[in-house]
Each structure stands twice: as structure tokens, then as C-alpha cells.
Chains A and B, each alone.
Chain A
Amino acid sequence: MSEQTAPQGIDALPGDLMMWVLIVSELLVFGAGLAAFMAVRVTDPVGFAEAQGHLNATAAGINTVVLVTSGWFAALALRCSETGQIGRARGLLGAAMVLGLVFLVVKWLEYVAKSELGITFETHDFFLFYYMLTGFHAMHVIAGIVILALVAWKISPRNTEVGAAFWHMVDLVWVLLFPIIYLL
């Protein structure tokens, strides 16, 4: 009789190895961007605080709730996919995508409000980082919605796990970006 042992090393990682490589790469890029923001902020704390006063922390707070809730739907979709509840899994992935779209609409309204105030990349270093980091993150939200749509179409436990992992990475980046850019 053979004894089953728990996976070790790389095999112990939940999900697809290449998705973890992508997640770590993305975290390094955003991590470096946010650390650079914090380092430049040290040189001009008053200017950064003044610039930050033009941001809408409430809208960003709402977007945080929206994104962590969509992550919850994606995590539940994986459980359903693993237990063969395909219709329910598709519905939950659809709900996660809808909340992703809500996030983008709030983000778009935020950009429109900045534009109406004449705030651009060149207004202050703060806004250079603001547009670069939040814009790059928004592109990942768009990519995540496309990936979740593909997963819902070609649904399987493995595909759902990979798609949900990408979506959670987008979520993870936002929970770090939110206080650093909007609240400090």
C-alpha cells in the first residue's frame, strides 16, 4: 500500500506555476512604482499632500469595496467550478466582471473630474505617479475582465483557478495602491 505525501516545493503552490510567475512579476513592477512614489514624496511632502487634496478618497474607498467584492465572487466561482456547479460558477464570474466594469466607470469619472480641473501628468510629480500607477492598474482590470470572460466561456476548474488568481492579483495591487496614493 502506497502512502500519499503532500506536494513539496514548487508543486505545493496552489494553481498554475506560470500564473504565479506573472503575479510575482506584476507585484514587483507595481511594488517598485509605489516605493518610488513614496521616495519622491519624502522630497516634497507638502506639495504631495496639496496635490492629494484634489483626489476623491470616498470614490476610491467605494472602488476598494467593489474590487474586493468582485474578488470574493471570483473565489466563490472557483469553489463552484470545482464542485461541478457550472451555471453558478458562470454567474459568479459574470458578477465579478460587472463589478470590474463598475470599478472602471468610477475610475473614468475620477479622471474626467481631474481633466475638468486642468490636472494633467505635468501638473505635479504626484499626478505623474497617480496617472501612471492608477492607469496601469486600470489596464490590468480591463485585461482581468477579458480573462474572466474567456474563463466563463471555456470553463473548467483549472481555467477558473488561473483566471481568479489573475483577478486576485489586481485586487492585491489595489489594496496597496489605495492608501499610498489616496489616503496618506
Chain B
Amino acid sequence: MPVTQAWLSLIALSLGSTLLALFGASGIWAALAMLALAWIKAQLILRVYLNLQSAPGWGRGFALVLAIYMSVIMGLAVLAG
């Protein structure tokens, strides 16, 4: 993915999470949606800005660690209710 396309996606995802919060979305599902958007953004930065797309093995490794971490964060968000 080219960097400009990644940037446009990051802007759209950032606006999406901010609008969710500003329009009063709350509760577990809203929290999970905002965290999912952050997960996608983090993955985009790793793959495109930090160019891990040129090293697929490392890219998969970072994606796995990020997936485990975000699952823990999402689990804690569900526990908080």
C-alpha cells in the first residue's frame, strides 16, 4: 500500500473514532469499536509507515504481538463494563 493511501485511511479511521465518541457512543460495543479502529491504525503504521510490508515475516510477527496485546486491552475494556 502506498504511503498516501495509508495516510488517507489513518485520517478516515481517526475521524471515525472521534465522531463515535462525540456523538455519544458509549458502552462495551462502542469501546470495542474504538479499540478495533486503533488496532487497524496501529497495523497500518507498522506495515506502511514503518515499511514492515517489505519484510512479511517480521510483519506477521509484529501483527501477532499487536493482536495479543489488543485482545488483552479489549478484554479489560469488557471487564470494566
Contacts and interface: CB of A to CB of B under 8 A. Distances in A.
For A39, A45, A48, A179, the residue with the greatest tally of chain B CB atoms inside 10 Å of its CB is A179
B37 A13 contact: no
Given A68-B7, A75-B3, A168-B50, A179 B22 contact: no
B76 A14 contact: no
Interface in A128-184: 164-165, 168-169, 171-172, 175-176, 178-180, 182-184
Interface residues on A, range: 35 or more
Contact of A69 (B11, B20, B57, B69): B11
B11 A14 contact: no
- Chain A interface, >50% SS class: helix
A129 B63 CA distance: 26
A42 B80 contact: yes
Interface in A5-22: 12-15
23 contacts: A12-B57, A14-B52, A15-B51, A23-B50, A31-B69, A34-B73, A39-B76, A42-B79, A45-B80, A58-B18, A61-B22, A64-B14, A65-B14, A69-B11, A71-B45, A75-B48, A75-B49, A168-B45, A172-B42, A175-B38, A175-B45, A176-B42, A184-B80
